[in-house]
Structure 1
Amino acid sequence: MPRLDDHCWSCPCAHGPRHAGRARASAGGLAAKVGEMITSSVSRPSLLVARAAPDSDPSRGPGGTGAGGGSASWHHRLVQRGLVLFSVGVGLALVLNLLQVQRNVTLFPEEVTATAFSSAWWVPPCCGTAAAVVGLLYPCIDSHLGEPHKFKREWASVMRCVAVFVGINHASAKLDFANNVQLSLTLAALSLGLWWTFDRSRSGLGLGITIAFLATLITQLLVYNGVYQYTSPDFLYIRSWLPCIFFSGGVTVGNIGRQLAMGVPEKPHSD
């Protein structure tokens, strides 16, 4: 028979303090692990924020993605586009002015016509500067008016526009009409056809007319001061078809400037 003392030693009451100590120890260890997990989960986001904070700082410099770097990059692309447009203007001025001089449409002094390109030294840089201004102005006006130009936006269309512009200039020097009025009306129709074929924007039409007016006024002042002259002038010292040439030239250079600005972000605004 089991003895009474066996039951007494196996009673749970005898092991109560020992089991209570183990339970407290295990509970304390569990609480410590839970505390470590909470601490690590709280500290990780703060560590990520601390690491990400320098990347979003706009004062990192030109290599960062802040306002300073974006503004410097925008100005760099603006200068590049201006140089390309300046080169285009110089090239067109040399070719087209040579054609006008050879056909005795434009007359320079004798010491000027003896040069390599039969043109005054100031003609190419002036035309290049005008091309840079006009080519940069067209996309700027489009963005301010909120009317992005989307008609025939590809380089093939731009090259065809340049070819038509050169053809209009060639026609002004080669075609013979009974009077200058007929030639002027023909070139006006060709210039409007160029705008309708390759532009069709209200901003392009308005800028083309403004450029034609200002360029014609400047040309009249130059001819009046004896810098050079036109044969058979019929419109205040110049030929009546000259505004048509300036209009078609503005539309052509504007299309080149728009194509160069395609995909370029707008100027960043600093807070």
Structure 2
Amino acid sequence: MPRLDDHFWSCSCAQGARHRGRPAARAGGLAAKVGAMITSSVAGPSLRAAHSAPHTDPALGPRSPGEGARGQGSGSGHATSWHHHLLQRSLVLFSVGVVLALVLNLLQVQRNVTLFPEEVIATIFSSAWWVPPCCGTAAAVVGLLYPCIDSHLGEPHKFKREWASVMRCVAVFVGINHASAKLDFANNVQLSLTLAALSLGLWWTFDRSRSGLGLGITIAFLATLITQLLVYNGVYQYTSPDFLYIRSWLPCIFFSGGVTVGNIGRQLAMGVPEKPHSD
């Protein structure tokens, strides 16, 4: 028969265990509730941010829903502005080429250096009708090519970038052309060497870029070759030719003219928006 003290001991132990188990259960339940609250508080903002976040592109960064349409609109506007500036520069360079052709050809005709057949003589400055448009087109091409080559080579031309310097360059070029018609030397070789030195001096004074020197030489070579073909086909002729069908100093005129028109094109290209890149 169990004793009375054993009965009291077992009851007190069982009750103590139950009392100890209840706080542990309550503590476990409270920890679970706290964990659920923390999880909901952390996950809630992230879910709301995921629903409200703009669409992103790893390469382009965040983009709002209306940003794509705005980007396309600004891109088309940028392209329109660039083409507008290109057209303006082309027209200005064409006009400059036409004026220089008329003035310089007048100097040559007055000195009886070039002779055009009577059937192609125009009334303006005694020049053939096709000379000004051809010179204007060549000036537009050269003037647009110079800043394009500078941009391609990554060497922007920064030497004497002001209109006063460009106007002085034009004046020196006209002086070189005038000297070719006015100066009298013992032979054409001396005249050619003198004009070559003046042309290199013009490049050194107003350009000093490798791209300008290379383009000037290339333009002089191509223009001289085209002129040789025109004279050979009887379009016009030079008096007293000494370099095949032309004068030996003509490449110097082409070189200095290329450098001059190139500086005008570079100056016109200042402040022009960059060419839009196609995606």
Q: Is the structural similarity TM-score above 0.5?
A: yes
Q: Which residue of 1 aligns with 2:117?
A: 109
Q: Which residue of 2 aligns with 1:146?
A: 154
Q: Which residue of 1 aligns with 2:133?
A: 125
Indicate conservation of the 8 Å contact 1:108/1:229, yes or no: yes
Structure 1 Cα separation of the partners of residues 127 and 65 of structure 2: 60
Shift in Å at residue 81 of structure 1?
0.4
Structure 1 Cα separation of the partners of residues 94 and 124 of structure 2: 20
Q: Which runs of 5+ in 1 are unaligned?
A: 1-37
Q: Which of 119, 142, 162 is 2:170 aligned to?
A: 162
Q: Which residue of 1 aligns with 2:97?
A: 89
Q: Which runs of 5+ in 2 are unaligned?
A: 1-43, 56-63
Q: Which residue of 2 aligns with 1:218?
A: 226
Shift in Å at residue 263 of structure 1?
1.6
Structure 2 Cα separation of the partners of residues 53 and 157 of structure 1: 50
1:207-252 C-alpha deviation (Å, 9 max, x unpaired): 0000000000000000001111111100010000000000000000
Structure 1 Cα separation of the partners of residues 119 and 144 of structure 2: 35
Shift in Å at residue 114 of structure 1?
6.0
Number of residue-to-residue matches in the alignment: 227
Indicate conservation of the 8 Å contact 1:93/1:127, yes or no: yes
Q: Does 1:194 align with 2:206?
A: no
Please say which structure displays the higher CA radius of gyration.
2
Q: Which of 56, 66, 75 is 1:54 aligned to?
A: 66
Amino acid at match of 1:181: V
Shift in Å at residue 53 of structure 1?
4.5
Indicate conservation of the 8 Å contact 1:112/1:118, yes or no: no
Amino acid at match of 2:69: D
Q: Which residue of 2 aligns with 1:181?
A: 189
Shift in Å at residue 54 of structure 1?
3.0
SS of 2:215 mapped into structure 1? helix
Q: Does 1:237 align with 2:245?
A: yes
Structure 2 Cα separation of the partners of residues 253 and 194 of structure 1: 12
SS of 1:251 mapped into structure 2? helix
TM-score for both structures, normalised by structure 1 = 0.78
Q: Which of 230, 243, 249 is 2:257 aligned to?
A: 249
Shift in Å at residue 57 of structure 1?
2.3
Shift in Å at residue 86 of structure 1?
0.3
Bigger CA drift: 178-187 or 113-122? 113-122
Structure 1 Cα separation of the partners of residues 248 and 100 of structure 2: 21
Structure 2 Cα separation of the partners of residues 75 and 59 of structure 1: 18
Indicate conservation of the 8 Å contact 1:94/1:124, yes or no: yes
1:6-61 C-alpha deviation (Å, 9 max, x unpaired): xxxxxxxxxxxxxxxxxxxxxxxxxxxxxxxx99xx89xx6999xx743552465x
